[in-house]
């Protein structure tokens, strides 16, 4: 039996969204049911606003083993959709592990929630459990700001983090793609990234990044390199020198078409440079390597 709905939101999203209509919709229907329902797994879709992009396979296997022995201890949270299905709000690891075990249904709280609320709850749950890498948190903060029209101060209140912490994460979005990738794969730390963020010159930035990764530099050593780079920045090439030769551009396009991945080529006026091939996850990396090794 569904629980009675209360009319107050407390400090819900309705009190901070600028759109009055959206706020009214949230206020009229945004409360969790008291009862727990067993829902067939095949009727549940993953959360499109899930901030986590990668799930540790070994950790999922361990969770699956625990579920096999103990069952689901903590129910997942879902929302019902108009087509009779459900979308995950929180608990995707439990959902995935239950699939591995071979369960046919799972206990769940059913909640009425807007897209903004789903995004917020999924983000907060993962941050509280410290399961997200720095770039996932940064992208999620930015998505919440855009979706919910929040200021940095309002977002800090929603996720329980200092405003300065929010700002530091959002600054990561301005980093070069290569630095973001190094951060998301734990090749560098958040402190390394903050030091690199103060280097505007791309050549100096990437040079220091490669030094950090190859020599496994400490944050203190990185800060020293950054200070030296600021005192004697690398000479900037002209716009003409920054453009790639036509043959390079053609090869870049061919490589992109063959690998179906983002390709970056950086070349100095002396002909020295880097070729970067981007991949989305481990399986995408394996796909690219198979093509290269053919």
Question: Which among 92, 120, 147, 178 is annotated as catalytic?
Answer: 92
Do residues 78 and 109 touch, judged by C-beta distance below 8 A? yes
Do residues 109 and 32 touch, judged by C-beta distance below 8 A? yes
What's the DSSP call for residue 11?
S
Is 4 part of a structural domain of the chain? no
CA distance 36 to 24: 27
Kindly report, residue by residue over 37-64, the tens digit of the pLDDT: 899 999 999 877 666 667 778 888 888 9
Is 90 part of a structural domain of the chain? yes
Do residues 123 and 159 touch, judged by C-beta distance below 8 A? yes
Q: What one-character-per-residue DSSP string does 154-212 give?
A: HHHHHHT--HHHHHHHHHGGGS-HHHHHHHHTTSS-HHHHHHHTT---HHHHHHHHHHH
Kindly report, residue by residue over 229-282, the tens digit of the pLDDT: 877 654 444 343 456 788 888 888 888 878 877 788 888 777 788 888 887 777
CA distance 196 to 74: 41
HSE (side-chain half, CA atoms, 13 Å) at 76:
29
pLDDT for the residue 126: 63
Is 236 part of a structural domain of the chain? no
257 is catalytic: no
Q: Are residues 17 and 107 in the same domain?
A: yes
Q: Are residues 83 and 226 in the same domain?
A: no
Q: Are residues 69 and 120 in the same domain?
A: yes
pLDDT string in tens for the chain (294-residue length): 444 333 332 333 333 233 333 333 333 333 444 467 899 999 999 877 666 667 778 888 888 999 988 888 889 888 888 888 999 888 888 999 999 999 999 999 888 877 777 777 776 666 655 567 888 888 878 877 877 788 888 888 877 788 888 888 988 988 988 898 889 888 999 999 999 988 888 888 988 998 898 888 899 999 988 888 877 654 444 343 456 788 888 888 888 878 877 788 888 777 788 888 887 777 778 888 888 887
Q: Are residues 162 and 21 in the same domain?
A: yes
Segments forming the whole domain that contains residue 60: 13-169
Question: Percentage of the chain surpassing pLDDT 70?
Answer: 78
Q: Are residues 19 and 164 in the same domain?
A: yes
Is 191 part of a structural domain of the chain? yes
Beta strand ranges found along the chain (DSSP E)? 32-40, 44-45, 76-80, 86-90, 105-111, 263-267, 273-277
Q: Are residues 219 and 87 in the same domain?
A: no
């Amino acid at each position: 039996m569904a629980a009675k709905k209360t009319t107050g939101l407390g400090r819900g999203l309705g009190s901070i969204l600028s759109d009055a209509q959206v706020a009214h919709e949230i206020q009229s229907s945004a409360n969790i049911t008291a009862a727990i329902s067993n829902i067939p797994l095949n009727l549940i879709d993953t959360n499109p606003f899930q901030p986590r992009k990668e799930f540790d396979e070994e950790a999922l296997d361990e969770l699956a083993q625990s579920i096999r022995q103990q069952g689901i201890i903590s129910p997942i949270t879902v929302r019902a959709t108009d087509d009779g299905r459900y979308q995950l709000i929180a608990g995707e690891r439990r959902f995935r592990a239950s699939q591995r075990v071979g369960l046919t249904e799972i206990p769940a709280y059913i909640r009425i929630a807007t897209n903004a609320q789903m995004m917020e709850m999924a983000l907060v749950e993962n941050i509280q459990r410290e399961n997200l890498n720095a770039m996932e948190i940064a992208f999620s903060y930015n998505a919440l700001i855009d979706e919910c029209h929040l200021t940095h101060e309002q977002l800090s209140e929603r996720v329980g983090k200092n405003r300065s912490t929010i700002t530091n994460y959002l600054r990561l979005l301005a980093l070069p793609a290569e630095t973001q990738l190094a951060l998301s794969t734990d090749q560098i730390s958040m402190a390394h990234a903050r030091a690199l963020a103060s280097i505007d010159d791309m050549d100096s930035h990437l040079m220091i990044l490669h030094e950090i990764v190859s020599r496994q530099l400490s944050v203190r050593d990185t800060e020293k390199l950054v200070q030296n780079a600021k005192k004697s920045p690398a000479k900037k090439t002209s716009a003409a020198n920054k453009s790639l030769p036509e043959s390079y551009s053609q090869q870049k396009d061919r490589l992109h078409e063959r690998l179906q991945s983002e390709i970056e080529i950086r070349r100095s006026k002396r002909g020295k440079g880097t070729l970067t091939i981007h991949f989305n996850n481990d399986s995408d990396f394996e796909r690219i390597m198979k093509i290269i090794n053919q």
